[in-house]
A and B are shown apart, each in its own frame.
Chain A
Amino acid sequence: MSIKITVTVNGVKHTDKVEPRLLLVHYLRDVLRLTGTHVGCDTSGCGACTILVNGKATKSCTMLAVQADKAKVTTIEGIASNGELHPLQEGFNQCHGLQCGFCTPGIIMTACDLLKNNKKPSEEEIRVALEGNFCRCTGYENIVKSIQYAADKMSAPKARKTKKEATV
């Protein structure tokens, strides 16, 4: 059985016929070749596959591609705008929030969801928001700082003109 789906990924509409068992993460990686979203486990525990589905942080390994029919999906490849890095991407560089970089896309997407709902999260709120994401390299502290960096930047008046990037 295969089913036709239409998914808007990073603003681009894609229509494909897929098997129902195809996981959304494999649709993104193998069909659309957007390989920034990673797979780190098979029990929905690591968060490396996190993307936004209709704006909500989602483990794309725990959703079928067919379930994303008509949805708006944002992946790590889609958050920079016009060559300008998203404040989170900048923050992770400024604060050394990544080492091997494998967990990074998932963590940045989780942080996108957090910052949408909480413009000025405290250290503790950030740590709690990262419950669904493992990083084995950094010890998390610099990830927390990277997210704080982005929060500061996004709430600074100057960032208003790049509203589009701040709202993904």
Chain B
Amino acid sequence: MSTNNGNGTAATGGPIGKSVKRVEDKRFTMGHGKFTDDIVLPGQTYAAFVRSQYAHAKILSVDTSAAKAMPGVVAIYTGADVAAVNGVPCGWQVNFKNGNAMKEPKHPLLVADKTRHVGDAIAIVIAESIEEAFDAAQTVNVEYEELPCVVDAFKATQPGAPLVHDDVPNNICYDWALGNPIEEVNAAMSSAAHVTTLEFINQRLVPNAIEPRCYNSSYDAINDKYTLYTSTQNPHVIRLLMCAFVLGIPEHKVRVISYDVGGGFGSKIFHYTEEALLTWCTKQLGRPVKWTAERKESFVLDAHGRDHITKAEMGFDSGGKIVALRVKTYANLGAYLSTFGSCVPTYLHGTLMQGLYTTPKINIDVTAVFTHTTAVDAYRGAGRPEATYLLERLMDLAAHEMKIDPAELRFRNFIPPFDGVNQPGYQTQVALQYDSGNYHAALEKGLEMLGYEDFRKAQKESANNGKLLGVGFSTYIEACGIAPSAVVGSLGARAGLFEFGQIRVQPTGKVTVYTGAHSHGQGHETTFAQVVADKLGISMDDVEIVHGDTEKIGFGMGTYGSRSIAVGGTAIVKSIEKVIEKGKKIAAHLLEASADDIDFANGNFTVKGTDKSIAFGNVALTAYVPHNYPKDLEPGLDFSSFYDPANFTYPFGCHIAVVEVDKETGKVALKRFIAVDDFGNIINPMIVEGQVHGGVAQGVGQALFEGAEYNEHGQLVNASYMDYCMPRADDFPIFETATQVTPCPHNPLGVKGAGEAGAIGSTPAVVNAVIDALWSGGHEVKDIRMPLTSERVWRAMQN
């Protein structure tokens, strides 16, 4: 059940704050979604790749002669053909502690010299049919000399480790630190009455959007124009990166279209080599080229998430107050820098080390490392789940060690409530300033939903019947809507992080909205229409949301980091404000009043204190048929805005998991999951709750089921759905969710964003619960490596 107190924005009685059913559902439930793989262009050709079976090998020769003679083959290109083309870029520069720029080895479209991870592309085979492309690809003969490889981030930094890139010593991309000077933190730590230490691995995850990546690129030679259909979360960003950094083609000659996208979770943010390569190929051939990833390719190509090796220490005074936090992390970047790979373990992770607590001294030190594995980048939560896992595992463990109740320990350390208006934002030790928060309340609500005292009684009883019950807590904070551009720019971002929104009022008063955000499941066509209908006092049926096409939408940064409503929604609101302001001038003219005397409410412009009014639709018509019209005012009613937020937004909440562990097999069953989240104001509670469910499922997936397993040869041994454990319907109980509202003080909607919270808060709650269950059975364990498979839990019970 969700409750939305609807503070502030729900006042109009319009659609904001209501669980409006999604307008996009009809096409999907009828089988008429438009996914990239559904598109076939005239003259279509199909691509298949020859990919490295080795994690690290020298390419001695590539023989395509037999393949070229195969039926239907149109062209084959190898690394040599694209040697002069740039590689795909990284979008964020992180500097070494000494100020040097990070190492940025080329990520070529096709490799020519050596392969650096399983799946590295050696050749592209283009044929008349997909069957012929596969048949021919199979006959390309590659001679390799296998080289030793390294998959573990820490081992890769050790002397003598095989190098991924010859010019990157010790495989270190950068080292980086944030927070208070380490001497101060060390001093605080040595004065602590108790220090809790945890060494753990936040394992590598495969994002697994159910729609495999797909691209279809075409070139119109007469007009020198390219069109790339792509399953991306941010078409404008792809166009920019591909045109300006990789192919050097003029941006205005390239149209990037991303219609319906079957889930992203971060993995479809990045500019992948195949997008640029297909676009390069279509120009060579003058025919459209299409490629759809096979799942086995998705497993080894789509950027993975997490993969940190961490040692964390938290010092407490005798009253259980945190006095210091010291963290050392080795972050695995994979073989190449993915688009945002560099900023995830740093600016999206190190900056979250304050958590919800008043910790006075914090230092985090990160070493980012290349290995012979798939690139690692943002996956739902990106850095923030790792930070939350670290803090929340430490909190439950520290509570256990100090014999303090884990909820009580949190209450003692929470930052007191602040609304960001009457009380200032909270300045952390790690560069951020939180906007507004009320952390106590979320935990109190969670404990009430749990029935904490009753639970502890039940826990004692269950220990006698072959099952161990456990509860785990996680009180998280995250940072969404990364901004403002000037600040992130100073931290190394190579792009702005604003958003674009355009309101085009048609002559009949119908509204077309162009947004630079992109929906791949988030329901923008509904949520954004709610905002527009509410603010303009019109029916949602009269609003159409357009996204995902660079030719239609002025610009856009896309959707990731839970930014769409906070940044994209606000850009739309800014344009609505401009529409209303101009509308007032037109209405004033028609009503023979001064614009300052016009009020706009419920779709009507009214002269203050009178019943003289005119409907929005009539004003719109007048704007396009400006016969009786203010002098010096342009016709038309069409505004766009770029919105660059003043700060991040900081959703937070409390997640509680209850698990049952089978004493004999170690099998874990998730019995209850409670989520109390604060996303600020909520536009559509139904959609927000859906985001929480999905996020929680992925977070629980990390805790109990999922994990990429590399063997010592650099093979991803569980690269299929027969091996990689994805959560299913029968792995979950009914989720118990609630929301509280602490509005964001710095955007007009008061919203904070909801896309990632579920994946951020849930993982440590579940792991803490399993460990609590084991403690209740008398097993003194500190950590169990995720995912908590039945074997690992069983082993933990053997001592």
Contact B729 A101 (CB under 8 A): no
A73 within 8 A of B: no
CA distance A103 to B25 in the complex (A): 13
B735 within 8 A of A: yes
A55 within 8 A of B: no
Closest chain A residue to B722, Cβ basis: A43
CB distance from A111 to the nearest CB of B (A): 11
Main SS of chain A's interface residues?
A: loop
B726 within 8 A of A: yes
Q: Which of A127-157 contact B (CB under 8 A)?
A: 127-128, 130-131, 133-144
16 contacts between A and B (CB under 8 A): A29-B38, A30-B40, A36-B31, A36-B32, A46-B295, A89-B26, A92-B25, A92-B29, A96-B21, A99-B523, A101-B28, A127-B730, A127-B732, A136-B208, A136-B265, A141-B693
Contact A139 B30 (CB under 8 A): no
Closest chain B residue to A146, Cβ basis: B29
Contact A138 B693 (CB under 8 A): yes
CB distance from B210 to the nearest CB of A (A): 4
Contact A41 B31 (CB under 8 A): no
Contact B720 A136 (CB under 8 A): no
Contact B29 A38 (CB under 8 A): no
Contact A142 B690 (CB under 8 A): yes
Instruction: Please list the residues of chain A having a beta carbon within 8 angstroms of any beta carbon in chain B.
Output: 19, 21, 29-30, 34-43, 45-46, 48, 75-77, 80, 85, 88-89, 92-94, 96, 98-105, 108, 123-124, 126-128, 130-131, 133-144
B752 within 8 A of A: no
Contact B732 A141 (CB under 8 A): yes
Contact A42 B520 (CB under 8 A): no
**Given A88-B29, A92-B29, A137-B210, 8 other A-B contacts at CB below 8 A?**
A37-B31, A39-B37, A80-B30, A92-B25, A101-B24, A124-B730, A127-B732, A136-B694
Known A76-B30, A140-B728, A141-B693; contact A101-B734, beta-carbon cutoff 8 A:
no
Closest chain A residue to B684, Cβ basis: A96
The residues of B that contact A41 with a CB separation of less than 8 Å are 295, 720-721
The one of B295, B693, B721 in contact with A142, judged by C-beta atoms closer than 8 angstroms, is: B693
Contact B212 A39 (CB under 8 A): yes
Closest chain B residue to A138, Cβ basis: B694
CB distance from A56 to the nearest CB of B (A): 19
CA distance A85 to B758 in the complex (A): 32
Closest chain B residue to A145, Cβ basis: B734
The residues of A that contact B734 with a CB separation of less than 8 Å are 123, 141
Contact A134 B726 (CB under 8 A): yes
Known A35-B31, A43-B720; contact A101-B260, beta-carbon cutoff 8 A:
yes
Q: How large is the interface on B (under 10, 10 to 19, 20 to 34, 35 or more residues)?
A: 35 or more
The residues of A that contact B551 with a CB separation of less than 8 Å are none
Contact B30 A100 (CB under 8 A): no
Contact A85 B261 (CB under 8 A): no
The residues of B that contact A139 with a CB separation of less than 8 Å are 690, 692-697, 732, 735, 758
Query: Which 7 pairs, one residue from A and one from B, show the smallest C-beta to C-beta distance?
Result: A36-B31, A102-B262, A101-B28, A45-B721, A139-B693, A100-B521, A99-B521
B211 within 8 A of A: yes
Contact A38 B25 (CB under 8 A): no
Contact A134 B728 (CB under 8 A): yes
Contact B728 A46 (CB under 8 A): no
B687 within 8 A of A: yes
The residues of A that contact B210 with a CB separation of less than 8 Å are 38, 40, 46, 48, 100, 102-103, 134-137
Q: Which of B1-41 contact A (CB under 8 A)?
A: 21-22, 24-33, 35, 37-38, 40
CB distance from A39 to the nearest CB of B (A): 7
Closest chain A residue to B700, Cβ basis: A139
Contact B30 A42 (CB under 8 A): no
Closest chain A residue to B697, Cβ basis: A139
Q: Which of B149-206 contact A (CB under 8 A)?
A: none
Known A43-B722, A100-B261, A102-B33; contact A137-B521, beta-carbon cutoff 8 A:
yes
The residues of A that contact B686 with a CB separation of less than 8 Å are 96
CB distance from A115 to the nearest CB of B (A): 15
Known A40-B210, A127-B729, A128-B730; contact A101-B33, beta-carbon cutoff 8 A:
yes
Q: Mark B694-733, 1 if CB is under 8 A from A, else 0.
A: 1111100000000000000000000011100010111010
Known A101-B28, A104-B29, A105-B31; contact A42-B720, beta-carbon cutoff 8 A:
yes
The residues of A that contact B25 with a CB separation of less than 8 Å are 92-93, 98, 101
CA distance A80 to B30 in the complex (A): 8
For A19, A100, A105, A128, the residue with the greatest tally of chain B CB atoms inside 10 Å of its CB is A100
The residues of A that contact B265 with a CB separation of less than 8 Å are 136
B606 within 8 A of A: no
B263 within 8 A of A: yes
The residues of B that contact A46 with a CB separation of less than 8 Å are 210, 295, 721
Contact B21 A93 (CB under 8 A): yes
The residues of A that contact B29 with a CB separation of less than 8 Å are 76, 85, 88-89, 92-93, 98, 101, 104-105, 108
Known A21-B131, A136-B263; contact A131-B729, beta-carbon cutoff 8 A:
yes
CA distance A21 to B25 in the complex (A): 34
Contact B720 A77 (CB under 8 A): no
B371 within 8 A of A: no
B294 within 8 A of A: yes
Contact B523 A42 (CB under 8 A): no
The residues of B that contact A124 with a CB separation of less than 8 Å are 730
CB distance from A65 to the nearest CB of B (A): 13
The residues of B that contact A89 with a CB separation of less than 8 Å are 26, 29-30
The residues of B that contact A101 with a CB separation of less than 8 Å are 24-25, 27-29, 33, 260, 262, 521
B115 within 8 A of A: no
Q: Which of B549-566 contact A (CB under 8 A)?
A: none
B209 within 8 A of A: yes
